[in-house]
Amino acid sequence: MRSVVSFTLVCFLAAPGLLAQDDSLEGRARRYLIDLIRIQSINPPGNETPVAQYLKSVCDREGIPSELMGGDTSRLNFVARLKGDGSQRPLLLMAHSDVVPADRSQWTVDPFSAEERDGFIYGRGAQDDKCYIAAELSVLVELKRQGMPLRRDIILLAESDEETGSTGIQWMIANAFQKIDADFGLNEGGFAFDAAAGQRLFHVQTSEKIPSRITLTARGTAGHGSLPRPDNAVVRLARAIARLAEADQPVRMNTTTRRYFRMLAKLPDYRWLAPHVGKLETAPTA
């Protein structure tokens, strides 16, 4: 699986300015990204099916089995699969095909033109999240063309409606989970940047924030909103919410953050961090 991961990184770091006819791994990723940005899959309303159709057209040309799936014909998911020998469970490459709205007045370029300036491709979805679709699709095509022997199936999923309701992935889980069932998946999250001495750091995200919903019930005397009594239920509820907002939220290191800071402190740019890492482990100094 090292080859798959390295291919993915190359796609994200594709050199700018490559000719449109360039059929290298990087050139294809660049071309796919430009094509995808120009498909306006703004959510709401979404209309991600044209993205799925584009992906299928590429896979059809390359002989990669793929299909469009979903409960809404205008918002279909795309699933493609390269077969391995089955000795290991599949790897799932994920990305979402919708983008948030773009106010043209706030852009210096047409947000759906995929215009190139100073070595960068500008457009809605260039970072969130069509770059991932382009990179992963390019990887899939490369694996197919090379005929690389795989120990596990490689699945590419481009799901609809990530930005507002996640109905695309929910439909897949409820109706076609066997199509995406995998040992692990690679999705958006994390980033890369250049440190001193030409070192490039890859930040890999290992988990995602999730919402915590709390139901608060307050009891007290009734009272008109213009003259709230001290024991009014609404007043008590407001006090409770204020206390929650003001409560101390202690720092708790987990395995990922502990190792992250420890390794980061070894780099020349971040040696100043080393004496502070231990302080993150104790509540008074964290």
> CA torsion 268→272→278→282, rounded to 10°?
-140
**pLDDT of 187-240, one tens digit each?**
988 788 888 778 888 888 887 777 788 888 888 776 566 666 777 888 888 889
Six-digit token string for 230: 């001290």
Q: Can you tell me the distance from the alpha carbon of 85 to that of 136, in angstroms, rounded to the nearest whole number?
A: 21
CB 95 within 8 A of CB 137: no
pLDDT digits (tens, 9 = 90+) for 105-162: 999 999 999 999 988 999 999 999 999 999 999 999 999 999 999 999 999 999 999 9
pLDDT of residue 8: 36
Written as six digits, the tokens of 96 are: 């979402």
DSSP 199-239: -EEEEE----------------B---TTS--TTBHHHHHHH
| Catalytic residue set | 98, 162
